[in-house]
Amino acid sequence: MLLGSADQGRTDVPAVRVGDEAIDRSSLWEAASAFAARIAGAPAVAVHGESSLSTVVAVVGGVLAGVPVVPVPADAGTAERRHILDDSKAALWAGPALDEVGVPRVPAAPADRAPAGFRAADPGPEAAALIMYTSGTTGPPKGVLIPRRAVAADLDGLADAWRWTRDDVLVHGLPLFHVHGLVLGLLGALRTGSPLVHTVRPRPEAYAAAAEAGGTLFFGVPTVWSRIARERDAATALGSARLLVSGSAGLPAGVAQAMEAAAGLAPVERYGMTESLITLAARADEPARTGWVGRPVTGVQARLRGEDGAPVPADGESIGALQVRGATMFDGYLGLPEATVEAWTPDGWFATGDAAAVDADGRYRIVGRMSVDLIKSGGYRVGAGEVESALLDHPSVREAAVVGVPDEDLGQRIVAYLVGEGIDEKDVVGFVAGRLSVHKRPREVRVVDALPRNAMGKVQKSLL
């Protein structure tokens, strides 16, 4: 079974705590089984992804019923929510009453109990566990079909990389509708048997309190770690943790250094996509190396290819297109066979669209998206992500986005859009040149009030 059974976790602490609500594993299975009985046979169930025990019950219930779960962002707008519901063909809705939801609502209550004779379904490893939607940066969000075997393989690979066991207590406050917070942060905890403490929001004081209460494994995105690093007491409290994990974007070196100084350990990094789940991860038994997302997890292979299709040297500097394949991969985009075919190379590798470098030990460094983050300037190939990380270490810079704009002399010149206070262009350019190769320095700095972002919080560089 994907999540094991009701009696495979610890009994000395709640299996899941969300804010002030908590539930033990046996009660969770009872409530989830009641939900599963209500939705049995449905083609898919859409779940309002708020941070609550009701969401946890609905997701686990979908898994027990063998019904694909469609996580819907809690902050989705009317049009986005309607698109996800219509496109996924979800027949049921676990969430609040909303005008744009035209399918029956089904309750998911932590106090519910399984009906007599209920048995969890086992549709097999190839059945879809989730239909997760992409962020829609290049058009309407696409439904990604994630099979049960991909989820199981990924979670087992990460448990190996991070030495994650039932003796850990996982802590995070990430959304329960993304891969990071939902697949890793909920299903991962349930599969390993480790208790989960969800802080509702990833506030520094909440993470510190969870650490003092025995939390050992903490998940966060760079913004979370940045805020904790600025709160010295909170960062120090995390010194009792076994492992800190960062993902979803590159971790600025300054943030890692601040966490190292205060807590005695820096977050390790990992990389993945909705389509592939987490494919690269730094290991718990190796020192954290900021900016590097580690090696392929068990069951996954990765490679880099240049524009001519040739392998890229494993020298840690040469940049190529990242391609992956293996046990964690999706089964295609729902109802989009042409887009599915286009996502794969002729020889069977998934083209991530990301640019990366790899060293001689097989560890990868992500430098950005091939389409907007690979800048060709003066004969050099520069990754925007690397420059952005350097810029974020500058004390005056709060946010940074780097793009390449056409230039008659250089081909493309590096332009940095920055948000912050008291930013001096010459100082910032010299700051970057002192940390990276001189050719990677911005040729132009533009200070703005805010960076354009989509609903997922990702910078829309096409608008810069």
Domain boundary among 136, 154, 189: 189
CATH of the domain at 440: 3.30.300.30
pLDDT digits (tens, 9 = 90+) for 42-75: 999 999 999 999 999 999 999 999 999 999 999 8
pLDDT digits (tens, 9 = 90+) for 148-175: 999 999 999 999 999 999 999 999 999 9
Is the residue at 164 inside a domain? yes
pLDDT digits (tens, 9 = 90+) for 36-50: 999 999 999 999 999
Overall domain count for the chain? 2
Is the residue at 333 inside a domain? no
Is the residue at 445 inside a domain? yes
pLDDT digits (tens, 9 = 90+) for 219-265: 999 889 989 999 999 999 999 999 999 998 888 888 999 999 999 99
Residue 111's pLDDT is 96
Tokens 């389509």, residue?
275
Is the residue at 441 inside a domain? yes
- Domain residue limits at 400: 374-463
pLDDT digits (tens, 9 = 90+) for 399-442: 999 998 888 778 889 999 999 999 999 999 999 988 887 888 99
Domain boundary among 138, 166, 189: 189
Is the residue at 309 inside a domain? no
pTM: 0.86
At 86, list the tokens: 């219509």
Is the residue at 256 inside a domain? no
How buried is residue 408: exposed, middle or buried, by Cβ count under 10 Å (0-12/13-18/19+)?
Answer: exposed
Percent helix, strand, coil in the chain, to 5, is 30, 25, 45
Residue 139's pLDDT is 65
Q: Which amino acid, residue 23? A: I
Is the residue at 307 inside a domain? no
Is the residue at 343 inside a domain? no
At 279, list the tokens: 């494919």
Q: How do 364-369 and 350-358 pair as beta strands? A: antiparallel
Q: How far apart are CA 379 and CA 131, in angstroms?
A: 42
Question: In the structure, what pLDDT confidence band is assigned to residue 382 with cuts at 50, 70 and 90?
Answer: confident
Residue 137's pLDDT is 54
